[in-house]
Structure 1
Amino acid sequence: MPAVGAPTCPVRAGQRREARRSAGSASSLRRARCRRAGSRRAAQLGHHRRRLAHWPGRAPLPAHRAARGGRVARRGAGRRPDAQCQLAGGRHLTRRAAPARVPGLVDSHCHLQHPAFDHDRVEVIERAREAGIVRIVVPGWDLPSSEAALELSDRFPELIQAAVGVHPHHVAEADEPTWARVEELAVDPRVVAIGEIGLDFFRNLSPHDVQRAAFARQLDLARRVGKPVLVHDREAHGEIISALLAWVEPAAPPVAPPGVLHCFSGDAAMAATLAGRGFLVSFALPLSFKSATGPRAAAADLPATAILVETDAPWLGPGADRRNEPITALRVAAELGRLRETSPEAIAAAARSNLDRLLGLESRTG
């Protein structure tokens, strides 16, 4: 080591300066690469947001979420208006793989007519078949989607069953010609249920009084045509219970079972009350979240004759920015099996029996 104050070797000093310049150049290169990668990612997310913005019923993303790119599979601000289920905020409790195939499984609620499936709908359906799925109920959320559900049931009659109805987010847009056409569709023998109908007091995209009137109107329609209902309930548990009990109380239920609580987000007491009046309770992937304490308790306690499996695809996918599809029903069946200490195959058999009973398809073996 040179003495303090001794002159520095010019050769070594030059070498150090050159090393610093090289390190600085490398850092600059890394920063430039990161900037380019960030620009590409931002462009990809921008394209993704623009594509999602054209989906029917899609609300615009707020600025704070647009900056992050938005997500398809989760609910809340900027999520699809016709979304049913309040997602739990926790992580999945289990990461164990779902079985590759569960023979006889059903998906009791899946929006296969959605544009998210336009580029590969047939492949999605084939994957579902290969995984063992034998029934898919496709509900409408407005008049065009209800008509599209019927078209799908015509194309795949052995697999797809259509339901028609106007979702609470869209009832403010429904005029009398719309209601008249929905009533025409409801009497079609190809239509197996009235749905998706109900109340949504979370997003409030339709005034509450308009939602209540439309829900009552569609419950009355279901009674007149003798078909079950597929019920949307978000932040409206008390009113949903009251409306459904009033609907089935005046006499015998209009049909048995009278309907389904789609993507159940209530508690065990609510599930028991409505199951006691013949309603089925349907569970989706949010069942596997830590904070879904009410649905998890209900899933464990309900009799096997009251449970259904669904995906609500293309929403409620297994990961951020991932489109959902019917094969996710295998994961739901596996989670239900863990909660009920039984096998996915036993869940599939119970759910299929319950869905066939709901839709009057007991004699079909498809």
Structure 2
Amino acid sequence: MMDDNVRDLGWLSLDLDGHYLLVDIGANLTNRKFAKDLDSVLQRARDSGVCKIIVTGTSINQSKEALRLARLHPDILYCTIGVHPHEAKTWTDDCETTLVEMASSSECVAIGECGLDYNRDFSPRDVQQEAFEKQIQIACDFKRKGLNRPLFLHERDAHDDFVRILNKYHAQLPNVVVHCFTGSYEEAMKYLEMGFYIGLTGFLAKFKSDNSLVKMLEEKKLPIDRLMLETDSPYCFPNTRGSKLPTKVKEILTEKSLNMLNRYSSFQRNEPSSLPVTLEIVSAYLEMKPEDVALKTTLNSLKFFGLS
């Protein structure tokens, strides 16, 4: 049953054309795969009901580009400003000053993508930790000044160090989202205990029914008031044609969402217009109406990032 808060704001769940109203909290639109047709990509996002997209900053240069795009498309784009753990090896003392300056812009709604990635170790682990901690400090400083710059975080195979570093600042932290979460039950419970939000992508379509993330959704271990949706474009394509999707998921997928997915997204390039499919997959596992999940996750995103 829809709670009172959801019912009172039910007008948000569908737009006038019957689309879900969604926020894509993480899309890598600075990727060169979008260089030639970004205007069309954004129009398709609007046509699919994605009303706001947060462009992810992953390095100094990519953060500058994310900010530029957000200024070019103020009706739909915002950005994060940060240095991804893969790029931590590029961190210098000047990075902090540059990030603070860019993050002070109204188009910036979060610090990140930052964190730790021990899966590929593209940057030395001690360097990753230093860059991560510096960016946490930046976000905490913004909070002390009364400015909303939550943390948009990446963690892969680095849970213990990730939690240890964040715990050093726990009382000072702004809101935190662990984006593109694919971790274990224990990791999810720890993040929820710490008050963090969880970002879910089309990567869900890759999992079998016995996957821990799927089970957490089915067993209502991931509360919907802590969930947000993202495409992580051009990555994390939701492959609805794979054999791993259970029947209950395939049955909830709408023709409208599938048409947009199959016409414009692929393994080579996912795009924000695929977000309704991820919404429907999450809804199937939660055993909730997609309209209700759209409403709640969109409200979560608007409040978390301070979007109008």
TM-score class, shorter-chain normalisation, is 0.7 to 0.9
Once the two structures are TM-superposed, the CA of residue 131 in structure 1 deviates from its matched residue by: 0.5
Q: Give the aligned residue type for 1:358.
A: F
CA distance in 2, matches of 1:102, 1:302: 25
Secondary structure of the 1:313 match is coil
Among 233, 239, 244, the alignment partner of 2:161 is 239
Once the two structures are TM-superposed, the CA of residue 184 in structure 1 deviates from its matched residue by: 1.4
Q: Give the aligned residue type for 1:286.
A: F
Q: Give the aligned residue type for 1:236.
A: A
CA distance in 2, matches of 1:297, 1:240: 24
1:163-211 deviation line (CA, Å, top 9, x unaligned): 1000001111222223321121122232110010000001111000000
CA distance in 2, matches of 1:135, 1:267: 29
Once the two structures are TM-superposed, the CA of residue 343 in structure 1 deviates from its matched residue by: 1.9
2:209 maps to 1:294: no
Once the two structures are TM-superposed, the CA of residue 154 in structure 1 deviates from its matched residue by: 1.0
Aligned to 2:227: 307
Secondary structure of the 1:172 match is helix
Q: Is the 8 A contact 1:101 1:330 kept in 2?
A: no
Secondary structure of the 1:136 match is strand
Q: Give the aligned residue type for 2:21.
A: G
Q: Is the 8 A contact 2:114 2:135 kept in 1?
A: yes
CA distance in 2, matches of 1:332, 1:285: 5
Q: Which runs of 5+ in 2 are unaligned?
A: 1-16, 144-148, 240-265
CA distance in 1, matches of 2:126, 2:30: 29
- Give the TM-score taking structure 1 as reference length: 0.67
Aligned to 2:188: 271
1:264-283 deviation line (CA, Å, top 9, x unaligned): 02122322222233211011
1:304-351 deviation line (CA, Å, top 9, x unaligned): 110011111011224674200001211111110011001222121111
Secondary structure of the 1:169 match is helix
Q: Is the 8 A contact 2:28 2:233 kept in 1?
A: yes
CA distance in 2, matches of 1:164, 1:325: 20
CA distance in 2, matches of 1:138, 1:296: 27
Q: Which runs of 5+ in 1 are unaligned?
A: 1-99
Mapping 1:201-350, distance limit 5 Å: 201-226=118-143, 227-248=149-170, 251=171, 253-255=172-174, 258-291=175-208, 293-300=211-218, 301-318=221-238, 321-350=267-296
Q: Is the 8 A contact 1:106 1:135 kept in 2?
A: yes
CA distance in 2, matches of 1:101, 1:338: 19
Mapping 1:1-366, distance limit 5 Å: 102-226=19-143, 227-248=149-170, 251=171, 253-255=172-174, 258-291=175-208, 293-300=211-218, 301-318=221-238, 321-361=267-307, 364=308
CA distance in 1, matches of 2:231, 2:222: 19
Structure 2 vs 1, CA of residues 331 and 224 (structure 1 numbering), >3 Å: closer, same or farther?
A: same
Aligned to 1:5: none
Give the total of aligned pairs: 258
Q: Is the 8 A contact 2:30 2:55 kept in 1?
A: yes
Once the two structures are TM-superposed, the CA of residue 302 in structure 1 deviates from its matched residue by: 1.2
Aligned to 1:66: none
Give aligned-pair identity as a percent.
30
Greater Cα radius of gyration, structure 1 or 2: 1
1:98-147 deviation line (CA, Å, top 9, x unaligned): xx974211111101121110111000100000111112111111011101
- Give the TM-score taking structure 2 as reference length: 0.79
1:21-69 deviation line (CA, Å, top 9, x unaligned): xxxxxxxxxxxxxxxxxxxxxxxxxxxxxxxxxxxxxxxxxxxxxxxxx
